[in-house]
Amino acid sequence: MATDYAHPEYLAETAWPAENLTNPDLRIFDCTVDMTNDPEKGYSIKNGREKYEAGHIPGVAFIDLMDEFKDLDHPLNFMMPPPARFVALASQYGIADGLTVVLYNAGPTWWATRMWWNLRAHGFNNAKVLNGGYEKWVAEGHPTKTGDERYPAAPFQSRPRPDLIVGKDEVLAAIDDPDTLILNALSPELHRGDRVQYGRPGHIKGSANVPARTLLEDETYAFKPASDLAAAFAPVGAMAASRVVNYCGGGISATTDLFALALMGHDGVQLYDASMTEWGKDDSLPMETRDS
């Protein structure tokens, strides 16, 4: 149950938006990015707008994380946009103080948690993730709609929290910090180095592994109960660490780990935005495999 979490307000159960679709102070966004992962060929990524237009929650707008909410000038994909760009985009999409924002996507929920963290890094704390996303909404028989919908523009106010995002130098320093846990959200195979997808095999030196997918229910993609999340994080000491730096391949699924930790009451979580797309290709940055 959501009430088992320390911060159940970070989630919206499907019944709540179903009863509030006409609320003028509610903004719901479909954050879908169409991504598949082939173990041999790597990731295939497409803009999720086509999926959105084929079916979405009525009244909901599409928010473009693939082509808009990113740093267009950065060599790495999906890096958080510069502050001025983020403010302009959020305003264009109609996000403003006094509104409640609910985020979801089709598939595992890490695109919604990615946008949740982006908003949080700008001091917007009235955002929620739809628990189970689009799959759970459809499975429960709620209505859907095709086509495109938009909200009116509104003035977004940024209150930057730069402490929520870290770069490689801070991660490097954290390796020897006994109060910090570096946490990898990628699969066990990638963490161990059985497969190579980001330039070099293995993981950031000293980091632990809690795969993001294991935090979600198999069929609905809803977050597992608090007791299951606690059991997943306990072996690596995540809740006991003063600070947890989360990473993955490109800073996406890592936000599901940090969202789950925040849901459980951890207030010291951070995102290494560039993650393995940067770290794995830089031979000066230390890595380990399971045999290290």
Whether 103 and 180 share a structural domain: no
List pLDDT tens digits, range 185-201.
999 999 999 999 999 99
Residue ranges making up the domain that contains 130: 2-161
Confidence check: pLDDT of 260 > 90 = yes
Instruction: Give the CATH number for residue 239.
Output: 3.40.250.10
Q: At which of 127, 161, 195 does a domain end? A: 161
Among 120, 141, 161, where does a domain finish? 161
Same domain, 172 and 157: no
Residues 93 and 235 grouped into a single domain? no
Q: Would you call 73 helix, strand, or coil by DSSP? A: coil
Asked if residue 214 and residue 117 are part of one domain, the reply reads: no
Domain boundary pick from 96, 127, 161: 161
Is residue 170 domain-shared with residue 74, that is, in the same domain? no
Name 166's Cβ contacts closer than 8 Å, sequence gap at least 6.
Answer: 174, 245, 270, 271, 272, 273
Please indicate, yes or no, whether residues 34 and 108 belong to a single structural domain of this protein: yes
Kindly list the distances between the CA atom of residue 7 and the CA atoms of 10, 104, 200, 259, 264, in Å, as whole numbers in the listed order: 6, 18, 37, 10, 7
Structure tokens at 171: 């991660």
Shared domain for 134 and 271, answered yes or no, is no
Which pLDDT tens digit goes with each residue over 51-70? 999 999 999 999 999 999 99
Specify the higher pLDDT residue, 51 or 3.
51
Whether residues 74 and 172 share a domain: the answer is: no
Claim to verify: residue 268 and residue 202 sit in the same structural domain: yes
Torsion of CA 104, 105, 108, 112, to 10 degrees: -50
CA distance 224 to 162: 29
Examine the domain organization and report whether 49 and 98 are in the same domain. yes
Average pLDDT over the chain reads 93
pLDDT of residue 1: 44
Dihedral, 129, 278, 175, 260 alpha carbons, nearest 10: 10
- Residues 106 and 188 reside in one and the same domain: no
Q: In terms of domains, do 137 and 15 share one?
A: yes
Asked if 76 and 278 count as a contact pair (C-beta separation under 8 A), the reply is yes
For the stretch 92-127, pLDDT in tens is: 999 999 999 999 999 999 999 999 999 999 999 999
Phi, psi (deg, nearest 5) at residue 289: -115, 180
Number of domains in the chain: 2
What number is the average pLDDT over the span 22-35? 94
